[in-house]
Amino acid sequence: MTLRLREDAEVVMFAGKGGVGKTTLSAATALHLAERGYRTLILTSDPAPSLGDIFERRIGDRVVEISTNLYALELSAEEVLRRWKQKFGGEVYEVLSSFVPVREEIIDYIGSAPGIDEEFMLDYIAGIATGGEYDRVVWDTAPAGHTLRLLRMPAVFIEHLEEAAKVYLRLYSAMLKIRETLGLRRPSREVFDIIEGWKRLSEELIEFIRSPRVEVIPAGMPQGLSVAQVRRLMEELKKFGIEVNKIVMNGVLPEHPCEFHREMVRTQRRYLAELRRDYPGVELVEVPLLPVEIRGLEGIRRVERLLFGR
Ligand SMILES: Nc1ncnc2c1ncn2[C@@H]1O[C@H](COP(=O)(O)OP(=O)(O)OP(=O)(O)O)[C@@H](O)[C@H]1O
Ligand SMILES: [Mg+2]
């Protein structure tokens, strides 16, 4: 079975354990979309990005044109923080400095807190998807744990923000009294509005991730640990309200007469059969293990043909 992407999906992401082929599949998918006439951006915020390696091009914090309709971007942690600060820094300072006496450096500290980069990446990608500059975005993610954390982030944010609003409400009257002694800025009603705004933003992100505009495709290899991870992902995504109707199994071995290979093929077959049995409504797309390294557009095109069939 070959991969048929949902027509209305503007963002495609493969999720799975480290090293199962997410970057390879992402590159093949991006090339496929670009060659079908969609202006496509493939991007990653993986701290150890390999888009540059697979496309054999230097890619960094600026968008690089790879071929017709195909663009790539590797966002570094610093660039994510910089863009986050540009968008949210002022508001964060506004809110914090009305609680406690802080200097502007606090913004860097908050910006490097766990979760902020993920929340921002979601916001950033939603922005690109809506922005109209690209028809399709392929998001090359870091390994599964990271992706799941990332998808959960807006909900976690909402909880925190609700807490913050409550605390703020409690402090509000007390603060009015003590603000002169501490020399704080005058707290304003606007702080509530900012917190409300963040909450709304997080809610919109959750809605975006769950919408048909985003297609999340679990990817793995037909081996014990990887399959276990795919199963966990399926469960988590379902709990999260993300509909999954395809799984890609990469690195499927061809038949071979030697006993060592036959044994491996048997094991793989067993895992594939179990997945088919347990997820009857889900398309299982198999990509064979290639005997060569996958690099450059020619290598990626080879995977593209296997993945999408032609
Ligand atoms: N079908 C395949 N046949 C042969 N080699 C493959 C295949 N798929 C992936 N590889 C190779 O396996 C290695 C891991 O692939 P890739 O980097 O795409 O995985 P990843 O899931 O993105 O890893 P990470 O989690 O570290 O980002 C690469 O060297 C890649 O070229
Ligand atoms: Mg990768």
> Could you say which ligand is closest to the alpha carbon of residue 27?
1
* Closest ligand 1 atom to 16 CA: 21
The identity of residue 224, as a single letter, is G
Interval 11-44: pLDDT, tens: 999 999 889 999 999 999 999 999 999 999 999 9
Answer whether 52 contacts ligand 1 (Cβ < 6 A).
no
Cα–Cα distance for residue pair 202/150, rounded to 1 Å: 12
Answer whether 251 contacts ligand 1 (Cβ < 6 A).
yes
Show the tokens assigned to 91: 């508001």
Show the tokens assigned to 51: 């888009």
Interval 261-278: pLDDT, tens: 999 999 999 999 999 999
Q: Which CATH architecture has domain 11-82+112-302?
A: 3-Layer(aba) Sandwich (3.40)
* CA 24 / ligand 1 centre spacing (Å): 6
Helix (H, G, I), strand (E, B) or coil at 102: coil
Interval 120-166: pLDDT, tens: 888 888 888 888 899 999 999 877 666 677 677 777 777 777 777 77
Contact 250, 280 (CB under 8 A): no
Helix (H, G, I), strand (E, B) or coil at 11: strand
Show the tokens assigned to 238: 């379902």
pLDDT of 172 higher than 80: no
Q: Tell me the Cα Rg of the chain.
A: 23
Contact 250, 20 (CB under 8 A): yes
Show the tokens assigned to 263: 């044994």
* CA 294 / ligand 1 centre spacing (Å): 8
Show the tokens assigned to 95: 């809110």
Cα–Cα distance for residue pair 54/156, rounded to 1 Å: 34
Cα–Cα distance for residue pair 143/20, rounded to 1 Å: 9
Answer whether 285 contacts ligand 1 (Cβ < 6 A).
no
**H or E element that contains 130:** helix 116-131
Cα–Cα distance for residue pair 273/279, rounded to 1 Å: 10
Q: Which residues surround ligand 2, an ion (CB under 5 A)?
A: 22-23
Q: Which residue has the higher pLDDT, 196 or 134?
A: 134
> Could you say which ligand is closest to the alpha carbon of residue 20?
1
pTM assigned to the model: 0.88
* Closest ligand 1 atom to 290 CA: 3
Contact 245, 157 (CB under 8 A): no
